Amino acid sequence: MTESDGPLVLGIETSCDETGVGVVRGTTRLLSNVVASQEDLHSEYGGVVPEIAARAHLERLNATAEKALAEAGVSLEEVDAVAVTAGPGLAGALVVGVAAAKALALAASKPVVAVNHLEGHIFAALLDYPEFTPPAVALIVSGGHTMLVHFEELGCYRLLGDTLDDAVGEAFDKVARLLGFGFPGGPEIDRAAGRGHASALDLPRPMRGEGFDFSMAGLKTAVVTALRNLHSSGERVRRDDVAASFQRAVVDVLVEKTVAAADSTGVPSVVVCGGVAANSELRQEMKRACEESGLQLYIPQPRLCVDNGAMIASAGAFRFEREGPDLLDFEANPSLLAPFDSDDLSAGPSGLGPAAASGALGGSALTGEGGSH
């Protein structure tokens, strides 16, 4: 390893339902990124089943790691450190990755680095934009989190806003289930919204103009109420139009608050990361709003937005260079707090829960035309 290159790091991600292994050189050079998705296993249950996720990680991790090393063209012996997601996430799923990382590290006499999943999402931006430097505002939007963070310098974050209830990805998945789409719902809503009319339902923009916190549960309820009202008045609405209306409401709030946060902190840049950052309308509208406000936008390509091992390797490279390896006695921590300074982290992240939809649709004012199911 040369100083300018940074360490060669293998990163393992098993916090939810993607078995991911990536190899990077330093924080910025992506050498491989292999993800074994478990969508097929969870779709029939409409959400992630923790026991199934843990077992599937166990079954797929070895082959995924071998493939990642082969695609990177390196051997385990050449790796400088093994990084792994220690939390937050599903307990049984995290344990598999952490145990595998420790076993690899022991077997090959490599140091191991515990990585916070949220910091991993942020570092995904460096893999696509090696030139990126903070300060920035980071919007982290995933199945478990919705956070606005003042990204002051690498490794130094201050929490500006959090969700008061559901995470954005969770809201996407719940509304998708309500509409009869498959799992995961986010990509399905994204596709359907592209065919629909966003003005079909008049939905609220929760907490608009009220600081940097978010509330997504009310929006889901507003969708249910709007559909009930349509049903009782005998009107019908296309499923694609509901998806488009919901997505527009979410995107409006995310974009407005992110630009306002950049404004209030005076930063020149915005980072958007996490699974929901793969959303096409969010990407497009955030780009438009940032251009309008003279902000530089860093939004990783979709495959680096969703859970993956390369982002964990990148954050691991940073932590390894700054702090050295972790002791082998660290444990998976499902409710690991974000590495963010804040006056109050007690209401902070509590792990990525499976998106359990609450309640069925009251009657059906929906028509299925244009839907994919």
Q: Could you tell me if 143 and 338 are in contact, meaning their C-beta atoms sit under 8 angstroms apart?
A: no
Interhelix angle 280-292/239-265, rounded to 10 degrees, is 40
User: C-beta of 36: minimal distance to Zn ion in Å?
Assistant: 15
Q: Which range touches ligand KG4 (CB under 6 A), out of 98-106, 139-147, 343-351, 357-365?
A: 139-147
Among 307, 309, 326, 342, binds Zn ion (CB under 5 A): 307
Asked if 276 is part of the footprint of ligand KG4 (rule: CB under 6 A), the reply reads yes
User: C-beta of 29: minimal distance to Zn ion in Å?
Assistant: 22
Q: How far apart are CA 24 and CA 164, in angstroms?
A: 35
Asked if 187 is part of the footprint of ligand KG4 (rule: CB under 6 A), the reply reads yes
Q: Which range touches ligand KG4 (CB under 6 A), out of 41-49, 61-69, 142-150, 156-164?
A: 142-150
Q: Could you tell me if 34 and 20 are in contact, meaning their C-beta atoms sit under 8 angstroms apart?
A: yes
> If contact means CB under 5 to 8 A according to the sort of partner, which of Zn ion, ligand KG4, none does residue 162 touch?
none
Q: How far apart are CA 189 and CA 180, in angstroms?
A: 10
Q: Could you tell me if 225 and 213 are in contact, meaning their C-beta atoms sit under 8 angstroms apart?
A: no
Q: Whats the size of the chain, residue-wise?
A: 373
Q: For residue 336, what is the DSSP state?
A: P
Instruction: Determine the distance from the C-alpha atom of residue 303 to the mean position of all C-alpha atoms in its chain, rounded to a whole number.
Output: 11
> If contact means CB under 5 to 8 A according to the sort of partner, which of ligand KG4, Zn ion, none does residue 206 touch?
none
Q: Which range touches ligand KG4 (CB under 6 A), out of 55-63, 98-106, 198-206, 272-280?
A: 272-280
Asked if 354 is part of the footprint of ligand KG4 (rule: CB under 6 A), the reply reads no
User: C-beta of 11: minimal distance to ligand KG4 in Å?
Assistant: 15
User: C-beta of 190: minimal distance to ligand KG4 in Å?
Assistant: 4
Asked if 173 is part of the footprint of Zn ion (rule: CB under 5 A), the reply reads no
Q: Which range touches ligand KG4 (CB under 6 A), out of 57-65, 138-146, 148-156, 217-225?
A: 138-146
- Which residues neighbour 209 within 8 Å (Cβ) at sequence distance 6 or greater? 256
- Which residues neighbour 98 within 8 Å (Cβ) at sequence distance 6 or greater? 84, 85, 86, 114, 330, 331, 332
Asked if 352 is part of the footprint of ligand KG4 (rule: CB under 6 A), the reply reads yes
Asked if 190 is part of the footprint of ligand KG4 (rule: CB under 6 A), the reply reads yes
Report the residue number, 58 or 140, with the smaller CB distance to Zn ion: 140
Asked if 46 is part of the footprint of ligand KG4 (rule: CB under 6 A), the reply reads no
Among 11, 20, 134, 274, binds ligand KG4 (CB under 6 A): 274
| Nearest C-alpha neighbor of 137 from the set 264, 270, 311, 333 | 270
Parallel, antiparallel, or unpaired for β 8-13 and 18-25? antiparallel
**Can you read off the two tokens belonging to residue 346?**
């007690």
Where helices occur in 4-49 by DSSP H, the ranges are: 39-42
Q: How far apart are CA 271 and CA 287, in angstroms?
A: 11
Residues that bind Zn ion in the complex, under the rule CB under 5 A: 142, 307
Residues that bind ligand KG4 in the complex, under the rule CB under 6 A: 16, 142-144, 169, 172-173, 184-187, 190, 274-276, 278-279, 306-307, 352
